[in-house]
Amino acid sequence: MDKTTINYFLLIGITLGSASLLAFTIRRLLSIFISKYAVKLNTDPTNFSFIKNSVGFIIYTSAIVFIFYKIPYLKSLGTALFAGAGILAVALGFASQKAFANIISGIFILIFKPFRVTDIIEFKDGQKGIAEEITLRHTIIKDYENRRIIIPNAIISEETIINSNIQDVRIRKQIIFSISYDSNIDKAMDIIRDEAMKHPSIIDNRSEKDKANNVPQVIVRVIALGDFSVDLKAYIWTTSNDKAFVLKCDLLKSVKERFDREGIEIPFPYRTIVYKKKIETEQN
């Protein structure tokens, strides 16, 4: 192996090593900046997260271009490839169509912000979690079992998303309770209101006009007369999606225990079974 070839290998190694070190350093600095200063400066971490994940792509692309430019053989190879750019462009177009779609979709997410990093989002198939990171290719969602859901940007940009954090994080949680037809409806509604008012996560979302008109803080309505139950729905305001879940679980327990103590029945399905006896007649 001659000296020129060795120098070329050294150039490639030094360039790629420098690119790796530079990408790692910048990503590390951006991570520290995002985690420490985004909240203090009241800035959206989504932009910084996308930039952080774009750094590696930009630096490595620049390093490869530099290597092709500095090495004569690779430079002539690049020229030959450029001469056949028509066929190459078609081949690369088909091969990288989805990759470019993900990149463009990631940029659109960054610009239009249907969700941001740290937002709680839910998809129509029931998947739900916290937007943790937006990269050039995909978005990472941390679900409530601490698993990561990795969704390509092109797919997530076409999804119908429920965003629990956009504009207003407060939630009106709706909880349904069923009681039997023999139970006292007004008493059951009073129990639900009383138990809801005891919960520490409840907030008063009434307007001044509602307060002046004595509108209750917790509204309970009869929403259905079912086959074997009267269904009551409680409308309760709280400060966030996570607290709404805890509030619902706590109230299902406390209201059930209160119903048991005060004689409000939670019904079971009733079935009427008819037995038919075949009557045989004797033929004379």
Q: Which pLDDT value is given to residue 201? A: 94
108 and 236 belong to one structural domain: no
237 and 99 belong to one structural domain: no
182 and 130 belong to one structural domain: no
No. of H helices and E strands in the chain? Answer: 9, 8
Alpha helices by DSSP H, listed for 38-163, are 45-70, 72-83, 85-95, 97-112, 153-156
Q: Tokens in use for 101?
A: 């779609």
Q: Which pLDDT value is given to residue 236? A: 96
Task: Say how many CA atoms lie within 13 Å of 233 toward its Cβ.
Answer: 8
State whether residue 121 is helix, strand or coil. strand
Q: Which pLDDT value is given to residue 34? A: 63
Q: Is residue 274 part of a domain?
A: no
Q: Which pLDDT value is given to residue 257? A: 96
Residue 221, judged by CB atoms within 10 A of its CB (0-12, 13-18, 19+), counts as exposed
Boundary residue ending a domain (163, 185, 200): 163
Q: Which pLDDT value is given to residue 174? A: 95
At residue 243's C-alpha, the angle toward residues 241 and 245, to 5°, is: 75
Q: Which pLDDT value is given to residue 73? A: 65
Q: Which pLDDT value is given to residue 164? A: 84
46 and 109 belong to one structural domain: yes
Q: Which pLDDT value is given to residue 177? A: 96
Q: Is residue 275 part of a domain?
A: no
Boundary residue ending a domain (163, 195, 223): 163
151 and 197 belong to one structural domain: no
186 and 158 belong to one structural domain: no
The number of residues in the chain equals 284
Instruction: Give 10-residue mean pLDDT values along the chain (284 residues).
Output: 69 79 77 63 61 72 76 62 54 65 83 85 88 86 92 89 85 94 95 96 92 93 92 95 93 96 87 68 50
Residue 117, judged by CB atoms within 10 A of its CB (0-12, 13-18, 19+), counts as buried
Q: Which pLDDT value is given to residue 272? A: 72
Boundary residue ending a domain (146, 163, 180): 163
CA distance 152 to 67: 31
Q: Is residue 34 part of a domain?
A: yes
Q: Is residue 270 part of a domain?
A: no
CA distances from 79 to 4, 39, 76, 271 (A): 21, 49, 5, 82
68 and 128 belong to one structural domain: yes
Q: Is residue 82 part of a domain?
A: yes
Q: Which pLDDT value is given to residue 279? A: 52
Q: Which pLDDT value is given to residue 221? A: 96
Q: Is residue 278 part of a domain?
A: no
Q: Is residue 40 part of a domain?
A: yes
Alpha helices by DSSP H, listed for 113-240, are 153-156, 185-198, 208-212
129 and 239 belong to one structural domain: no
* Cα four-point dihedral sign 33, 34, 36, 40: positive
Residue 207 phi, psi (nearest 5) = -80, 170
Q: Is residue 17 part of a domain?
A: yes
Longest Cα separation, the chain: 122
Q: 17 near 63, Cβ under 8 Å?
A: no
102 and 206 belong to one structural domain: no
Q: Tokens in use for 41?
A: 């400066």
**Containing structural domain, residue 214:** 171-262
Any idea what the CATH number is for the domain that residue 223 is in?
A: 3.30.70.100
Q: 121 near 161, Cβ under 8 Å?
A: yes
Give, for 199, the enclosing helix (H) or strand (E). Answer: none
73 and 197 belong to one structural domain: no
CA distances from 210 to 200, 203, 206, 217, 252 (A): 22, 14, 6, 9, 27
31 and 99 belong to one structural domain: yes
203 and 134 belong to one structural domain: no
Number of domains the chain is built from = 2
